[in-house]
């Protein structure tokens, strides 16, 4: 385009470009910007993950500043606080006592276990809050894997699914609204759907960890639950979860996983981690009509916290920008440890 002189100005350096399109017109005032804003965040988008433990009191989690392991008698105060901030869904993760961990993770379907008791209490005291659970063996397994490890060191698919179905039914019986299989065994969504339906829990939903990658970003979470893969007895234990969680190099495979989960009856599809996998969130949101969830995982949380503690980042601005990026990529909901902080910031405006 050509430069032309601004006839209103006597300053001969004041020139106007002959531009038809000036995108800045719509960025000129806060009112204009808010009018053309494509995406927004609200507290109702968030799912708040909470760690529970059998012990007394509140234990801060070292690798995740600002998060805690809650005892059952302290849990409700935190859940009520989240509710007051507009959060409508929580997901519960257990730190299981070492003595209860076994090779087959059978504690996961103990109806008097930590999670069923936490769910029962929560639904009794605040029935309107949606309760989501995690289905996988790792917090209950002495091997620290999401499934049963054979004597040859293979994570067994179908045998594990038996346990997962029992776990899901016990959680549903305790009052869970949404079951979240995070284990990545093949066929578990369909099996869990059938098990729930057989027991009369056809109203209980499945939010599937559809595209869950084998990621180093889960490190702080495994510290929180002391659930990392470990060498126990004499058998070989796979050191990571790459025989069942997805390879970070793969994108198309996520679509296959999404198609399978849809066919098997998932209600919501989740991508995990979030920030390094925005392309996957976007692809699934284009491929599927189901709601898409993004998991802003522990390592993503801890990175921001660490930088903010040193004054290297503006925590509030970075967190809200990150959460908004999940919405822009195509997520409808976001699991995030920042949920309460973000809800409070949004309220302040």
Indicate the annotated binding residues for Mg(2+): 257
Q: Which of 123, 222, 230, 282 binds ligand PBG (CB under 6 A)?
A: 222
CB of 249 to ligand PBG, least distance (A): 18
Residues numbered 155-184 forming contacts with ligand PBG, rule: CB under 6 A: 182-183
Is 143 among the residues that bind ligand PBG (CB under 6 A)?
no
Q: What angle do CA 317, 322, 328 make, to 5 degrees?
A: 125
Q: Which of 45, 104, 107, 134 binds ligand PBG (CB under 6 A)?
A: 134
Is 230 among the residues that bind ligand PBG (CB under 6 A)?
no
Q: Which C-beta is closer to ligand PBG: that of 64 or that of 308?
A: 64
Is 48 among the residues that bind ligand PBG (CB under 6 A)?
no
CB of 132 to ligand PBG, least distance (A): 11
Decide if 45 contacts 292 (C-beta within 8 A): no
3-state secondary structure the chain: CCEEECCCCCCCCCEEECCCCCHHHHHCCHHHHHHCCCCCCCHHHEEEEEEEECCCCEEECCCCCCCEEECHHHHHHHHHHHHHCCCCEEEEEEECCHHHCECCCHHHHCCCCHHHHHHHHHHHHCCCCEEEEEECCHHHECCCCCCEECCCCCEEHHHHHHHHHHHHHHHHHHCCCEEEECCCCCCHHHHHHHHHHHCCCCCCEEEEEEEEECCHHHHHHHHHHCCCCCCCCCCCCCCCCCCCCECCCCCHHHHHHHHHHHHHCCCEEEEECCHHHHHHHHHHHHHCCCCEEEEECHHHHHHHHHHHHCCCCCHHHHHHHHHHHHHHHCCCEEEECCHHHHHHHHHHC
What is the C-alpha separation between 127 and 129, in angstroms, rounded?
5
CB of 156 to ligand PBG, least distance (A): 16
Q: Which C-beta is closer to ligand PBG: that of 6 or that of 159?
A: 159
305 is annotated as an active-site residue: no
Question: Of residues 95, 101, 241, 272, which has the active-site annotation?
Answer: 272
Q: Which C-beta is closer to ligand PBG: that of 86 or that of 219?
A: 219
CB of 223 to ligand PBG, least distance (A): 10
Residues numbered 201-220 forming contacts with ligand PBG, rule: CB under 6 A: 218
CB of 297 to ligand PBG, least distance (A): 4
Residues numbered 281-300 forming contacts with ligand PBG, rule: CB under 6 A: 297-298
272 is annotated as an active-site residue: yes
Q: Which C-beta is closer to ligand PBG: that of 24 or that of 273?
A: 273
Residues contacting ligand PBG: total by CB under 6 A:
12
CB of 49 to ligand PBG, least distance (A): 7
Find the part of the chain contacting ligand PBG (CB under 6 A) among 33-41, 132-140, 200-208, 306-314: 132-140
Q: What angle do CA 156, 157, 163 make, to 5 degrees?
A: 90
Residues that bind ligand PBG (CB under 6 A): 134, 136, 138, 146, 182-183, 218, 221-222, 241, 297-298
Which residues are tagged catalytic? Answer: 212, 272
């Amino acid at each position: 385009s050509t430069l032309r002189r601004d006839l209103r100005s006597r300053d001969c350096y004041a020139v106007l470009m002959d531009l038809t399109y000036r995108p800045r017109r719509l960025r000129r005032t806060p009112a204009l910007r808010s009018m053309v804003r494509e995406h927004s965040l609200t507290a109702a988008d968030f799912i708040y993950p909470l760690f529970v433990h059998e012990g007394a009191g509140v234990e801060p989690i070292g690798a995740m500043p600002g998060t805690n392991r809650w005892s059952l008698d302290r849990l409700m105060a935190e859940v009520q606080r989240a509710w007051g901030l507009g959060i409508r869904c929580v997901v519960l993760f257990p730190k299981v006592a070492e003595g209860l961990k076994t090779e087959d993770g059978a504690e996961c379907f103990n109806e008097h276990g930590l999670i069923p008791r936490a769910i029962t209490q929560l639904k009794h005291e605040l029935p309107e809050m949606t309760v989501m659970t995690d289905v996988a063996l790792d917090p209950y397994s002495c091997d620290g894997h999401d499934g049963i490890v054979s004597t040859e060191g293979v994570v067994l698919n179908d045998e594990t699914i038996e346990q997962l179905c029992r776990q899901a039914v016990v959680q549903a019986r305790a009052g869970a609204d949404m079951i979240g299989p995070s284990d990545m065994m093949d066929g578990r969504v369909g099996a869990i759907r059938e098990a729930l339906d057989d027991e009369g829990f056809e109203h209980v939903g499945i939010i599937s960890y559809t595209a869950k990658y084998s990621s180093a970003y889960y490190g702080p979470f495994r510290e929180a639950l002391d659930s990392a893969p470990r060498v126990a007895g004499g058998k070989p234990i796979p050191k990571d979860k790459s025989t069942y969680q997805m390879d970070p190099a793969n994108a198309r495979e996520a679509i296959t996983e999404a198609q399978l989960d849809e066919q098997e009856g998932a209600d919501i599809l989740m991508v995990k981690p979030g920030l390094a996998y925005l392309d996957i969130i976007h692809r699934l949101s284009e491929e599927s009509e189901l709601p898409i969830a993004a998991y802003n995982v522990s390592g993503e949380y801890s990175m921001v916290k660490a930088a903010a503690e040193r004054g290297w980042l503006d925590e509030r601005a970075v967190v809200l920008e990150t959460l908004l990026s999940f919405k822009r990529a195509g997520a409808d909901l976001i699991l995030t440890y920042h949920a309460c902080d973000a809800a409070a910031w949004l309220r302040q405006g």
